Amino acid sequence: MIQAKAELQSALAAAVAQLAPGVPFNPQFESPKQAAHGDLAITAAMQLAKPLRSNPRAVAEQLIAALQVQPAVQRWVSALDIAGPGFINLRLAPAAKQAVVAEVLQGAGGFGRQPANGHKLMVEFVSANPTGPLHVGHARQGALGDSLCHLFETQGYDVTREFYYNDAGVQIATLANSTLSRIQGLAPGDAGWPESAYNGDYIADIAADFMAKKTVKADDREFTASGDTADLDGIRQFAVAYLRHEQDLDLQAFGVQFDSYFLESSLYTSGKVEQTVQRLVDAGKTYEQDGALWLRTTEDGDDKDRVMRKSDGTYTYFVPDVAYHVNKFERGYGKVINCQGTDHHGTIARVRAGLQGQGLGIPAGYPDYVLNTMVRVLRGGEEVKISKRAGSYVTLRDLIAWTSKDAVRYFLISRKADTEFTFDIDQALKQNDENPVFYVQYAHARICSVLAQGATQGVDEAALNVADLSLLAAPTELALMLKLADYPEMLSSAARDLAPHDVAFYLRDLAAAFHSYYAAERFLVDDLALARARLALLAATRQVLRNALALLGVSAPDQMHREQPTETE
C-alpha cells in the first residue's frame, strides 16, 4: 500500500495540474473522520475552488473525472465519492491494502524508515545535576528524549544524545557540605545539620564510601576518595562522581545510553560565556542599568528585557545556556531539541533572543523544546510523594522496582508531554487489557503463539513471503492492513510534531485491530493457501508491533500470561 499511496499522490498531483495549471498544490491525503466514509479523503476541491472561481462540489466532480483516467487510480481505487461541501472520499481496492503485507515482510526492521538525509540532530534530555538520584520527572524526560531520538533516526537523521549538567555552583557546594556533615556524624534533624542540606539516605552512603577511600567510576569521570575530612574539594569531586555513577545505573536500568556529556563549568573555563556576552555587547543587543548588564529580549518577543550580568558581576542562569547552544551550533547541529520540565518555559524566549543576537546565522526558533509536566505516582489508590532513599521524591529506580522498565517507559510516553500524568502502580502491574502496555505486548505474544502453532502444522514462516495475499478480504483483515499502512506516515508526523506519544497511540490502535481480527477469524484453517495468507498478515503485524515498541524502548515478548482470560488460546 505504500507504493500504491505514492502512485496515487502522483496521480492526484497530475489531475490537479490538468485542472488548475500553475496553481501551487501539495498532493496529500487525509483520513476520513469516519471509517465508513472511505479509506482516504481528498480536500483539494475546497483549496482549488477560489482560484478556479467555482463551487467546491463542481470542482470535486471535475477532479474525480481527471482522476479516473489516471492509471494508478484505475489500478488501486475501487470508488471515488463526493461528500459534504466537496470532500472526495476514496475507497482503495483490496489489492492496495493487501500489498502492505509484502512491504512489511520485505522491510522487516527497516519498514517505515527513511534513508539517511545527511542532517545532524542533537537531543539533550535528563540533564540532571549530580546532587541526588533521578526522580520521576527525569524518568519522563528520559522516556521522551530517547523516544524522540529513535523517531528521528527513522527519518534519516544522524542523532546524538547529550547529557548536560552543572558540576560546580551552589547546588554542588551544598552537596559537598551535606556529605561533610554526614562524615562528622550529623544527621537530618540534629543540631548543627545545615538547613539547606540534602536529607536523603544516599548522602550517608557517599560519606561512608569517602571515608573508606573507595574509587567510583561514571561514564564521564572517575575519582578515588582521600578519606581526609579536611579535603572539602575532594569530598565534592567524590560526591559528584558517586552520584554520576548512580545516575548511570538508573539510566542503564531504564535502557537509556548517552553519546556525550557536557559540563556547564567548561563554558566558563573555555571562555565561551565571556565570548557570548561580548558578541551581544558588540552587536548592540545589551545596555547597562542599575549596575547590571541587560539583554534586549523584548526585541525578540519576550515580555521584558532580562539581566545577563548582575551588579555583583555574576551571570544569570540563562547566559551559559546561550553559550551552550552556540557551542551546539558550532559543532554542526543545525537542529537541536531540548527535553526539559515546564519550569524552563520562561527561558525559551531569552535563550533564543541571545542566540539571534549573536550574528552567527543561527536559525530563528533554535533550539526546539519539548516541555514536560511532573508526574504524580499512585500506589494502592494513594499518592506516593517521597522515597526513603531520596528523602523528598519518588525515584526512577523506585518506579522500575515497583513495576518494570517496560511499564515505566510505556506509561511515561503514553500522554502528550505537557499534559498532567498520574502513574498508577497498580494499573501497571495488571496482566489484562486494563494495562495498556500489557495490551500491546500481549498482541505480539499472541501472534508468536499462533505462528509457532502454524510451524508445527506445516505452515512454515519462510513460505509466508509467497502467500496469496488476494485471499485476505475479511473486513477485519482489511482494517488491520490499513492500520499497518499508516505506520510510515505516523512516524513522519510524530517526528515533525515532536510527539512520541503518537507512537503509543498507534500501538494501542494496531493492537486493537489485531485483537478484533483474532476474535473474528480462525488462522490455522484447512485451506492451506488461506492459512498461509493469514499467517503472513500476522507476521507483518508482529513486525510492526516489534518495530514500534522498540522506538519506545519497550520489549516485545514472545510469551505472556494473561489474568482471567476471556478467550481460549
C-alpha cell at 472: 485476505
pLDDT given for residue 568 in this prediction: 40
Q: What is the pLDDT of residues 376-399, one digit of tens each?
A: 999 999 999 876 666 778 999 999
Q: How far apart are CA 236 and CA 166, in angstroms?
A: 13
Phi, psi of 395 (to 5 degrees): -95, 160
Q: How far apart are CA 29 and CA 43, in angstroms?
A: 8
pLDDT given for residue 567 in this prediction: 47
pLDDT given for residue 388 in this prediction: 62
pLDDT given for residue 192 in this prediction: 93
Q: What is the pLDDT of residues 244-294, one digit of tens each?
A: 999 999 999 999 999 999 999 999 999 999 999 999 999 999 999 999 999
pLDDT given for residue 390 in this prediction: 66
> Counting runs of H as helices and runs of E as strands, what totals does the chain give?
21, 16
Q: How far apart are CA 16 and CA 91, in angstroms?
A: 19
Which residues of the chain carry a pLDDT beneath 50?
565-569
Q: How far apart are CA 138 and CA 406, in angstroms?
A: 16
210 in Cβ contact with 227 (< 8 Å): yes
Q: What size, in residues, is the chain? A: 569
pLDDT given for residue 564 in this prediction: 61
Beta bridge partners of 423: 377
What's the per-residue H, E or C state across 497-536? CCCCHHHHHHHHHHHHHHHHHHHHCCCCCCCHHHHHHHHH
Query: Mind listing the domains of the chain with CATH numbers?
Result: 2-92 (3.30.1360.70), 169-260 (no CATH), 436-551 (1.10.730.10)
Residue in the structure block whose three cell numbers are 494499573: 427
Q: How far apart are CA 484 and CA 538, in angstroms?
A: 11
- Determine how many CB atoms are found less than 10 A away from the CB of residue 192: 8
Q: Name the strand (E) or helix (H) holding 306.
A: strand 306-309
Phi, psi of 536 (to 5 degrees): -65, -40
